[in-house]
């Protein structure tokens, strides 16, 4: 089910037209899971609501920034390089903490494979570009 990320059209689901359009957002259960995983402390329901709001705001900011960075490089497509610039500005990626280390640390193997070439048996490298 995993496909390499890239600009592609989202297939329209039948019946989606009948429901009123809602803003897409990250499932609150997922936000809850991730947040509690890192907090290691009880969190009230209200606090989770605020975290959700912050996530929405974060994605708005993120898309604005990525747009600016890709257009700065004279592109209309957001690429890995834009994301790296963004994460550098956020102080996540530094000279001591390269992007690949973050990917290896925080992403599950199947996603890691898509982003970082992994040597597999048979003298092959995944993904083969």
Q: Catalog residues that contact other proteins under the rule CB under 8 A.
A: 65, 68-69, 72-74, 81-82, 85, 88-89
Measured CA to CA, the distance from residue 32 to residue 39 in angstroms comes to 10
Minimum CB separation of residue 58 from other proteins in Å reads: 14
Is the Cα dihedral 72, 116, 6, 28 positive or negative?
A: negative
Q: Answer for the pair 4, 25: CB distance below 8 angstroms, yes or no.
A: no
In the complex with other proteins, which residue's Cβ is closer, 83 or 116? 83
In angstroms, the Cα distances linking 75 to 68, 81, 82, 88 are 10, 11, 10, 19
In the complex with other proteins, which residue's Cβ is closer, 1 or 74? 74
Minimum CB separation of residue 68 from other proteins in Å reads: 6
User: Does residue 127 have a cis bond before it (omega within 30 degrees)?
Assistant: yes
In the complex with other proteins, which residue's Cβ is closer, 52 or 65? 65
Beta bridge partners of 126: 118
In the complex with other proteins, which residue's Cβ is closer, 28 or 71? 71
């Amino acid at each position: 089910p995993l496909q390499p990320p890239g600009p592609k059209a989202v297939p329209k689901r039948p019946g989606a037209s009948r429901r009123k359009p809602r803003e897409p957002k990250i499932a609150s259960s997922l936000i809850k899971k991730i947040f509690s995983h890192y907090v290691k402390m009880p969190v009230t329901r209200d606090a989770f609501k605020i975290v959700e709001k912050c996530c929405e705001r974060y994605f708005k900011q993120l898309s604005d920034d990525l747009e600016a960075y890709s257009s700065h490089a004279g592109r209309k497509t957001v690429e890995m390089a834009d994301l790296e610039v963004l994460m550098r500005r956020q102080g996540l990626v530094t000279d001591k903490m390269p992007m690949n280390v973050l990917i290896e640390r925080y992403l599950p193997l199947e996603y890691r494979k898509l982003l970082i070439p992994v040597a597999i048996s048979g003298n092959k490298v995944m993904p083969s570009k």
